[in-house]
């Protein structure tokens, strides 16, 4: 991937062989962004798991204490009182069969999809559309629930989803470059603590293998994983 001059300049200011403490790494990620917009800070963790095995595939959510800094658009599949609760909680889209039709027609202007259990038969028709985008509701991420109103509030308030990819990596946004350093640190700790809590019993050897942070357009900064577990 070709990088611009500003990225090269930022990368040259880092010692790429250096492994930093979490505080130092987050500070560098905050200041090494090269875009003119408020870049997202992301943590990437290489876990000692084999995601090909069902009992080592991690998937869940973590509440960021300082919020994500992102305006999250939420679509909800619900009816009756649940639909009303979702609207009152601030959902951007609420519907049932009509929402299914909209999505089948290409309307995907949302970041999170929540469904009450009774709607999952209808939502199941959208697997080929929502699945590849990581949007399919799932009880493990709290997006299939009877209390859709609370779920909307949680995701609007800073709850984010995570899952391992095929190589055992997890990528989680933890805020914006404009956040105070302590806010980013609080969110970073929340993510690491959640991953450690969710460690599969079948995982062997070193669990937190590699940790790094970066801004949307900035270079990656390595974090010392031995200081986190």
What is the DSSP code string of 19-75? -B-HHHHHHHHHH---SSS-PEEEEEEEES--TTSGGG--EEEEE-TT--SS---EE
Tokens of 131: 């699945």
- Is 70 exceeded by the pLDDT of residue 221? yes
Tell me what pLDDT residue 1 has. Answer: 47
Tell me what pLDDT residue 14 has. Answer: 64
127 shares its domain with 175: no
87 shares its domain with 151: yes
Query: Would you place residue 8 in the very low, low, confident or very high pLDDT band (cuts 50, 70, 90)?
Result: low
Mean pLDDT on 105-128: 95
CATH code of the domain in which 140 resides = 3.40.50.790
- Is 80 exceeded by the pLDDT of residue 111? yes
Burial of 179 (0-12, 13-18, 19+ CB in 10 A): buried
53 shares its domain with 87: no
In total, how many domains does the chain have? 2
CATH code of the domain in which 200 resides = 3.30.190.20
- Is 70 exceeded by the pLDDT of residue 7? no
148 shares its domain with 91: yes
What is the residue-wise DSSP string for 106-141? T----SEEEE-GGGHHHHGGGHHHHGGGT-S--GGG
Residue at 6 is within a domain: no
185 shares its domain with 139: no
Mean pLDDT on 51-75: 93
Q: Helix axis angle, 181-197 relative to 22-31, nearest 10°?
A: 130
- Is 60 exceeded by the pLDDT of residue 56? yes
- Is 50 exceeded by the pLDDT of residue 30? yes
Residue at 9 is within a domain: no
Query: Would you place residue 228 in the very low, low, confident or very high pLDDT band (cuts 50, 70, 90)?
Result: confident
64 shares its domain with 163: yes
- Strand 112-115 relative to strand 74-77: parallel, antiparallel, unpaired? parallel
Instruction: Give the list of residues 6+ apart from residue 77 with CB closer than 8 angstroms, or none.
Output: 95, 96, 99, 100, 113, 114, 115, 116, 119, 122, 123, 137
Q: Helix axis angle, 148-156 relative to 80-88, nearest 10°?
A: 20
Tell me what pLDDT residue 218 has. Answer: 87
Collapsing DSSP states into helix, strand and coil, what is residue 144? strand
61 shares its domain with 167: yes
48 shares its domain with 100: no
Q: For the segment 152-200, what is each residue's pLDDT rounded down to a tens digit?
A: 999 999 999 999 999 999 999 999 999 999 999 999 999 999 999 999 9
Residue at 45 is within a domain: yes
Range of the domain at 217: 16-68+159-227
Q: For the segment 204-219, what is each residue's pLDDT rounded down to a tens digit?
A: 899 999 999 999 888 8
């Amino acid at each position: 991937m070709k990088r611009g001059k500003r990225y090269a300049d930022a990368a040259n200011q880092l010692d790429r062989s250096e492994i930093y403490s979490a505080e130092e790494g987050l500070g560098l990620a905050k200041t090494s962004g090269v875009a003119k917009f408020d870049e997202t800070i992301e943590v990437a963790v290489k876990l000692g798991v084999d995601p090909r095995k069902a009992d080592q595939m991690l998937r869940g959510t973590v509440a960021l204490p300082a919020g994500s800094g992102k305006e999250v658009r939420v679509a909800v599949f619900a009816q009756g009182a649940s639909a009303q609760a979702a609207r009152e909680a601030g959902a951007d889209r609420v519907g049932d069969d009509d929402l299914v039709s909209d999505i089948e027609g290409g309307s995907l202007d949302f970041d999170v999809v929540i469904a009450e259990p009774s709607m999952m038969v209808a939502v199941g028709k959208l697997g080929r559309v929502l699945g590849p985008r990581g949007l399919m509701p799932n009880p493990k991420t709290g997006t299939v629930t009877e209390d859709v109103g609370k779920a909307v509030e949680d995701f609007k308030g800073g709850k984010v989803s995570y899952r391992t990819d095929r190589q055992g990596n997890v990528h989680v946004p933890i805020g914006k470059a404009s956040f105070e350093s302590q806010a980013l640190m609080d969110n970073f700790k929340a993510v690491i603590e959640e991953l450690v809590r969710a460690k599969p019993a079948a995982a062997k050897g070193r669990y937190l293998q590699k940790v790094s942070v970066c801004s949307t357009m900035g270079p990656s900064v390595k974090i010392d994983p031995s200081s986190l577990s």
